[in-house]
A = this chain, B = another copy of it.
Amino acid sequence: MEKKVFHELLPFDSALKLLLENFKEKVFYPLSSETISVKDALNRVTAEPVFARISSPYFHSSAMDGYAVRAKSTFSATEKDPVKLEIGKEAIWIETGDPLPEDFDAVIPVEEVNVYENYIEIYKAYPPYHDVRPVGEDIVATELIIPENHFVRPVDIGAMLASGILKIKVRKKPLAGIIPTGSELIEPERIEEGALKPPALIEYNSSVLANLIKEDGGEAKVYPIAKDEEKDIEESILKACEECDLILLNAGSGYGKEDFTYKVLSKLGEIIINGVAIKPGKPFIAGFVENKPVLGIPGYPVSAFFCYHLFVKPLIEMYLGAKLRREEKIQATLSRGISSGIGVDEFVRVKVGKVGDKYIVSPVGRGAGLLMSVVRADGYIVIPSGSEGYSQEQTVDVYLWKSKEEIDNTIVCIGSHDNTLDILYNYLRKKYPHISLSSAHVGSMGGLIAVKKGEAHIAGTHLLDETTGEYNIPFIKRLLLEKKVVLINLVYRTQGLIVRKGNPKNIKGFEDLKREDVVFINRQAGSGTRLLLDKHLREIGINPSQIRGYENEEYTHMGVAQAVASGRADVGLGILAAAKALDLDFIPVAEERYDILIAKEFLELEIIQALLDVIKNDEEFKKAVLSLGGYDIRDMGKIVYES
């Protein structure tokens, strides 16, 4: 096996600089432009300054409905000694926007005069040009309307048309050719024909990249999937270089046997970047073929996403000659510490919530393969290459993928996970489109602590007190001594052992967890489910060390169900809804109470009241919860404790 020599990775800043400098040298300047109708110019970038052709208004016009007069004829008018002007001769009816009649120089609004059969009476003097919009009041012919390198907005279109500009020169939209590579890839449409069997993988990165480009004002052409063969990739690149302005190759930029980007680019052109000290996105490659930039975008979806933002977006800006809008930046407090390796700039997806008057930020999954971590994140933070990470409660810059307003209208829910929370989120948003629910799953105990520390508005919790048999309240009394809270019930739910369809290992109860041939999947310490398990184990005298897999932890019920479904484990403890979702079998063990803890200081917030409204009054929501199975809603919305 041929092993590639690992070279020094370029720091991000140097890599971007190198790419843009090469671009300027090889592609720039002048940028391509085209002449289009002003009416079609929305969001296009001007390729030259636009100057007014005609003034607006282009004649002296009336600013009001009223009478055109000669100002001079009004000079002697007073309240006591009004001036009479003959209608049609000295005073001519005029509507807003009408041209001032020749030799007239002022307008008197109709409200300020008294109208008689053939004359009007006026009661004060009016200066010349009173209520007249003089020529050029809005736009003076020859003046600059909008500069070059400007994104055209609706009002700009209005101003250009008003000043007689019908066509303008705008930058051509850069056309990006996207070449998906990988012998195992299939177009998503082919799922329908049954083509999705291992090792086939759904090719979706090209759609993400194409839509990112579209959003940023470029155009994208997706080429057929190229096989992992030098010849196929080479041909695709040459074709795309003929037809497009820049080329994205996805993937094949790594160091595997079937990664041909480096080899093919070296042959066809010149490589300027091979690997960048960023995470995710390290195997990024950039080169030029026939003076067109060809970028090797890594295959993992999150790597591809960040490489787009870090390298492709700045190139689009070069083609457009204008800066695209970037993420809004806010400062937020880290809810927990986060470490990162020295030597790479790491881009960490985060959830952000506003609790009280501070913004709280929490990292989410960091794997480059976790596209859902981007979907669910609110933005990202950067841990620069010189830093080993950030400590808890440190203030960091957060780049938002949502508007601050949206963050401000988000309920932060930290604690135990239950499938009804997803349903609740959906019905909340249906009734209150401007409100979101962000839930982080750290277990019931973690939720109580988050509420205590003011890092969450609410927490989902189902903590069973072994001595009293009571749910949640003993823990709240112990942990949240000085915090005013309200505890309301959401559901009762059935916990049980989740096993594969047909129960092939014939598991009947906790006793079976001791068996040599049974692998268990656990929940994390501090979760209510873990407490429930440990209680049952103690009751029947099983020691955790007797259970294979006790140390393997998942953070959600679905995680447990998934581990069972995929064969990683034979059994786990979880809720019926999770078993049903993945068509697994379920052995009921206990009914437990799942409550929502609310910090009282936030109870009157609109977002919390909206949540309570849905919980208490939304019949559709209730129906949806019941349809999940394993839930009882007899006390839904009822206050079970208040401090």
For residue A92, CB closer than 8 A to chain B, the reply is no
Chain B CB within 10 A, most for which of A38, A65, A562: A562
Inter-chain contacts of A158 with B (CB < 8 A): 204-205, 207-208, 301, 371
A176-227 contacts to B, CB under 8 A, are 182, 184, 188-189, 191-192, 196, 198-199, 201-202, 204-205, 207-209, 211-212, 214-215
Q: Separation in Å of the A68 CB from the closest CB of chain B? A: 12
CA separation between A98 and B184, bound complex, in Å? 9
Inter-chain contacts of A60 with B (CB < 8 A): 566
Report whether B95 and A257 are in contact in the complex, using a CB–CB cutoff of 8 Å. yes
Inter-chain contacts of A258 with B (CB < 8 A): 95
Inter-chain contacts of A325 with B (CB < 8 A): 403, 405
Report whether A426 and B202 are in contact in the complex, using a CB–CB cutoff of 8 Å. no
- What are 27 A-B contacts defined by CB distance under 8 Å? A3-B110, A49-B426, A54-B196, A55-B562, A59-B198, A65-B256, A65-B257, A97-B182, A98-B184, A98-B199, A137-B369, A137-B370, A138-B372, A140-B558, A140-B582, A143-B422, A143-B558, A150-B429, A157-B204, A157-B211, A158-B207, A158-B208, A162-B202, A162-B204, A164-B196, A166-B191, A322-B433
Per-position contact with B for A112-141: 1 when CB-CB < 8 Å, else 0?
Answer: 000100000000000011000111111111
Q: Separation in Å of the A443 CB from the closest CB of chain B? A: 19
CA separation between A42 and B3, bound complex, in Å? 41
Report whether A204 and B161 are in contact in the complex, using a CB–CB cutoff of 8 Å. yes
Report whether B99 and A199 are in contact in the complex, using a CB–CB cutoff of 8 Å. yes
Q: Separation in Å of the A120 CB from the closest CB of chain B? A: 10
Report whether A215 and B154 are in contact in the complex, using a CB–CB cutoff of 8 Å. yes
Q: Separation in Å of the A141 CB from the closest CB of chain B? A: 7
Known interface pairs A42-B211, A143-B422, A147-B425; 4 further A-B residue pairs with C-beta atoms within 8 A, sorted by A's residue number: A95-B256, A136-B562, A159-B372, A166-B188
For residue A537, CB closer than 8 A to chain B, the reply is no
CA separation between A157 and B212, bound complex, in Å? 10
Query: Could you tell me which A residues sit within 8 Å of B by CB distance?
Result: 1, 3, 38-39, 42-43, 49, 54-61, 63, 65, 93, 95-99, 110, 115, 128-129, 133-150, 153-159, 161-162, 164, 166, 182, 184, 188-189, 191-192, 196, 198-199, 201-202, 204-205, 207-209, 211-212, 214-215, 254-258, 299, 301, 305, 317, 321-323, 325-326, 328, 367, 369-372, 374-375, 401, 403-406, 422, 425-426, 429-430, 433-434, 558-559, 561-563, 565-566, 568, 581-582
Q: What are the 7 closest A-B residue pairs judged by CB atoms, nearest first? A: A135-B566, A161-B204, A154-B211, A158-B208, A99-B198, A142-B581, A136-B562
Q: Separation in Å of the A106 CB from the closest CB of chain B? A: 12
Chain B CB within 10 A, most for which of A162, A374, A558: A162
Closest to A139 in B: B372
Report whether B433 and A323 are in contact in the complex, using a CB–CB cutoff of 8 Å. yes
Q: Among the listed B3, B96, B145, B199, which residue makes an inter-chain contact with A256, where contact means beta carbons less than 8 Å apart?
A: B96
CA separation between A375 and B136, bound complex, in Å? 15
Given A99-B199, A150-B429, A162-B204: A63 and B369 interface contact (C-beta under 8 Å) = yes
Given A211-B154, A215-B42, A429-B148: A565 and B143 interface contact (C-beta under 8 Å) = no
Q: Separation in Å of the A63 CB from the closest CB of chain B? A: 7
Inter-chain contacts of A129 with B (CB < 8 A): 568
Report whether B166 and A189 are in contact in the complex, using a CB–CB cutoff of 8 Å. yes
Q: Among the listed B43, B133, B136, B155, which residue makes an inter-chain contact with A371, where contact means beta carbons less than 8 Å apart?
A: B155
Inter-chain contacts of A568 with B (CB < 8 A): 128-129, 134
Report whether A404 and B65 are in contact in the complex, using a CB–CB cutoff of 8 Å. no
CA separation between A558 and B321, bound complex, in Å? 30
Inter-chain contacts of A65 with B (CB < 8 A): 254-257
Inter-chain contacts of A188 with B (CB < 8 A): 38-39, 161, 164, 166
CA separation between A326 and B402, bound complex, in Å? 11
Report whether B370 and A207 are in contact in the complex, using a CB–CB cutoff of 8 Å. no
Report whether A434 and B323 are in contact in the complex, using a CB–CB cutoff of 8 Å. yes
Inter-chain contacts of A128 with B (CB < 8 A): 568
Inter-chain contacts of A563 with B (CB < 8 A): 134
